[in-house]
Amino acid sequence: MTKPFRIGTRASTLALWQANWAKSELERKWPGLAVELVPCKTTGDKILNVPLSEVGGKGLFTKEIDDALLDGRVDAAVHSMKDVPFQLPHGIDFGAIPEREDPRDALVSNGRRIDALPPAARIGTSSLRRQVQLKHRFPSMHISNLRGNVDTRLRKLTDGEFDGIILALAGLRRLGRESAVTQILDQEFMLPAIGQGALGITCRENDASTREQLAVLDHRPTRDAVTAERGLLSALEGSCKVPVAGHAVLKNGRILLKGLVANLSGTLVITGEISGDPNSAHQLGIALGKDLIGRGAGKILAEISQHGTPR
């Protein structure tokens, strides 16, 4: 019997949806290929009662899967790109970056749009990036950490723990829960996370056969956009401890990349944008990161690094 093609994945509902999508696409494009999913429990899945910004380290949702890939227990891994650290472990590369889903954030509430919620509304989100952008616009809102899978978060809203919660639109769509959305938040209001809405399918760098199989899932415009965003992230050495946002699109053969860094109180938000040749996507991201650092982001990052995030 032919050895199955093994895909490592987290065991959450959304992660399994994403891995099953990759499985069906690979089996459709490579008739005769049998794909098997190998669920892995990551550090981020084990620690649910602490904000991600306090857990520390990089690769909270990827390290254990990376280990399985490097020691040969799996042949590839499917990640939400926004969970992938800016530097991949030595020996691992992206075999495919498929076409991106909508990268925007979405508000789920009792029916009221975000600017119609009470000034002291209770908002749930696990993301520092979302928190600081909300604080910047609505300083009196009470923003609380919200962890768990999509259904858990929606249930807490229904139970009255929050007046609204913010989730990635892509995840809600993939799970068939888009009908729960009250308002899609435009990027002028809330810039997405680096890589939000995109998948990163990794494999061993030297595994030519797997790379060939995964290549059929690659979408060049998404790869170029995400590469620019990850260049920005690498220049800022971003992690879940730092409120960084960025999004790139391809327009008329050029990349337009927007970036944002904010302090933890949301009182200082530094934004910028850059455009250029998609063939220099990573360098464009680095250039924008350096520009933001020169305009005050460096001071913000140093302060966060020295004092940490509030508990």
Residues with catalytic annotation? 83
Residue with tokens 């981020």: 44
250, 233 in Cβ contact below 8 A?
no
Which residues have CB under 8 Å from 44's CB, separation 6+?
Answer: 52, 55, 60, 61, 83
Task: Give, to the nearest 10 degrees, the angle between helix 281-292 and helix 220-236.
Answer: 30
Task: Give, to the nearest 10 degrees, the angle between helix 150-158 and helix 13-29.
Answer: 140
Cβ atoms within 10 Å, residue 126: 20
At 299, the amino acid letter reads K
Rg over alpha carbons for the chain, rounded to the nearest Å, is: 19
d(CA 301, CA 293): 9
Residue with tokens 């391809």: 250
User: How long, in residues, is the chain?
Assistant: 311
At 146, the amino acid letter reads L
